[in-house]
Homo-oligomer: A and B are copies of this chain.
Amino acid sequence: MKPLNQLTATEIVAATSAGRVTCEAVARACLEHIERREPQVLAWQYLDPEQVLARARALDRGSRGGPLFGVPFGIKDIIDTCDMPTEYGSPIYQGCRPMNDAACVALGRRAGGILMGKTVTTEFANRHPGKTRHPKDPRRTPGGSSSGSAAAVGDSMVPLAIGTQTTASTIRPAAFNGCVGLRPTFGALSCSGVRQAAGSLDTLGLIARSVEDVALYHDVLLGIDPRPIPAAPGRLRIGVARTHFWTSVEPTYQARIEEAARALARAGAQVSDVTLPPAFERIEDAHRWISSFEFVRNFTHEIEHHWDRISSDLRDYRLADGIGCPVERYTAALAAAAECRAMLDDIMRDFDVLITPSADGEAPIGLASTGNASFCAIWTSTHVPALTLPLFTGPNGLPLGLQVIAARGRDRDLFAAGRAITSMVPH
């Protein structure tokens, strides 16, 4: 049997529910792994082993069980918790103690999960990095803004973690860390208790090590009894969306995606190229103005009272953009995104899913930036669900993801396609 910290959530629940393993044993295995690895990875903003073990023992004593019975999970520190500090990646909020759990935290706990701790976020889930390093190479960024969540799951510290995504903040770090990452359909899972960055774009992000786990966690966070992933269509209609960013994709990564497309066709999928209309070339710009305009309004309090404790990364880019953005440009950007959303709805009538890069390559060297976010801006702005699958390895031995896109509201079909694609692409 694999070490307990390497089990998926689905495997843990099977073991704890059958009484084969205690919740405490699972928690201890994860805590011991964290103790060994945390000095290098620095994934955790807050972690109190005694608190975790007390919760695990209480679960073992109780009779409630639940769909996440005994599953440790991490929560990005942009999300409120009632019994752990929530600091939003900013010195302004050192020691901040909200009075309640965000919806996603409370739902995970109600399902029998064990909140392991708070994972490192970039400052306010924006661009200024936290302390986390890539678990496989400490010179490299783990990606962001859900840096700690992805590093913790990728390094087998926990099987599940929640992040958020306003641009690429879940898909990118999940891909960099060899995780399965889900950015659900916009609006599908509650962000109540999550510090808002840009309300027109923000979603939760789910990070796990299998598609089954992402589907399980999705249902827990929707507050329903988990359902099995449906069967994928016999002949999956897959569009290869290279997008206008294709030329900036690392050549070996391009090659892996092309090989995957051929493998999928060989395995029986109907694979064809998709060229997005020219309007999609302007969507990254639209995304920039939507997110900046809204971010600046949402952080009015911090701008007014704590300007000196905001990083220059944030002040000189996002805030400068948002402060300088005329409302007409913002309104035009919203209209441009809505136009692309309608066009993508049309395009998706011909496809079950699109496949596309999750990033431009492996996690880059350097800790001052969390990497290129362009490969998510189209999908984030159009509110479609996106799943990254850890199917490839890059030239430096680091993970590369395949991003899979479905139509809005088709998250469950996306899980089906994700599972099918994982089985069809050799990896």
Chain A residues close to B by CB (< 8 Å): 82, 93, 96, 98-103, 105-107, 109-110, 187, 190-193, 195-196, 199-200, 222-224, 293-294, 296-302, 304-305, 327
Of the A-B pairs whose beta carbons lie under 8 Å apart in the complex, a sample of 12, sorted by A's number, is A93-B99, A100-B302, A103-B298, A107-B297, A109-B304, A110-B304, A187-B199, A191-B199, A193-B301, A222-B297, A223-B293, A223-B297
Q: A293's closest neighbor in chain B, by CB?
A: B223
**A294 nearest CB neighbor, chain B only:** B190
User: For residue A322, which residue of chain B has the nearest CB?
Assistant: B223
Of the residues B102, B187, B223, B304, contact of A296 by C-beta under 8 Å:
B223
Q: List 16 other contacts, CB 8 Å, given A106-B301, A107-B300, A190-B294.
A: A100-B301, A101-B300, A102-B301, A103-B300, A106-B300, A107-B297, A187-B199, A187-B200, A190-B199, A191-B196, A191-B199, A192-B195, A192-B199, A192-B298, A222-B327, A223-B300
Complex Cα distance A109/B192, Å? Answer: 24
- Considering the complex, give the chain B residue whose CB is closest to the CB of A195: B192
Question: For residue A328, which residue of chain B has the nearest CB?
Answer: B224
Contacts of A93 in B (CB 8 A): 99
Contacting residues, chain B, for A99 (C-beta < 8 A): 93, 96
- Chain B residues lying within 8 Å of A304, measured Cβ to Cβ, are 106, 109-110
Please indicate the chain B residues that have their CB under 8 angstroms from the CB of A110 in the complex: 300, 304
* A190 touching B106, Cβ below 8 Å: no
Q: Which residues on the B side are within 8 Å of A305 (C-beta)?
A: 82
Contact A190 to B298, CB < 8 A, known contacts A99-B93, A106-B304: yes
Closest approach, in angstroms, between the C-beta of A206 and any C-beta of chain B? 15
Report B-chain residues with C-beta under 8 Å of the C-beta of A105: 301
Interface centre among A199, A297, A327 (most CB of B within 10 A): A297
The smallest C-beta distance from A133 to any residue of chain B, in angstroms, reads 29
Distance A82 CA – B305 CA, assembled complex (angstroms) = 11
Closest to A81 in B: B301
A101 touches B196 (CB 8 A): no
Return the chain B residue nearest A197 by Cβ.
B192
- Complex interface: chain B residues within 8 A of A222 (CB): 297, 327
The docked-state distance in angstroms from the alpha carbon of A319 to that of B200 is: 27
In whole Å, how far is A402's beta carbon from the nearest beta carbon of chain B?
28
Residues of B within 8 A of A191 (CB): 196, 199
Distance in angstroms between the alpha carbons of A82 and B196 in the assembled complex? 17
Give the docked Cα–Cα distance between A98 and B298 (Å): 15
A287 and B251 CA atoms in complex are apart in Å by: 50
Given contacts A302-B100, A304-B109, contact A192 B196 (CB under 8 A): yes
Closest to A296 in B: B223
Distance in angstroms between the alpha carbons of A304 and B103 in the assembled complex: 11
How far, in whole Å, are A96 and B96 apart by their CA atoms in the complex? 13
Closest to A302 in B: B100
A297: nearest residue on chain B (CB-CB)? B223
A93 CA to B82 CA in the complex, in Å?
12
Q: Do residues A297 and B190 form an inter-chain contact, with CB atoms below 8 A?
A: yes
Q: How far is the CA of A96 from the CA of B103 in the complex (A)?
A: 18
- Give the distance in Å from the alpha carbon of A101 to the alpha carbon of B305 in the complex: 10
* CA A187 to CA B186, docked complex, whole Å: 13
Could you say which of B193, B196, B224, B293 contacts A327, with CB atoms under 8 Å apart? B224
Residue in chain B with minimal CB distance to A334: B409
Expressed in whole angstroms, the minimum distance between the Cβ of A301 and any Cβ of chain B is 4
Question: Bound complex: CA of A237 vs CA of B305, how far in Å?
Answer: 46
Question: B residues within 8 A CB of A193?
Answer: 196, 301
Most chain B CB within a 10 A radius of its CB, from A192, A200, A298, A327: A192
Bound-complex Cα distance A32 to B103 (A) = 41
A109–B305 CA distance with the chains assembled, in angstroms? 11
Chain B: CB-nearest residue to A199:
B190
- 4 shortest interchain CB distances as A-B pairs: A106-B300, A192-B196, A106-B301, A192-B298
User: Smallest distance from the beta carbon of A195 to chain B beta carbons, Å?
Assistant: 8
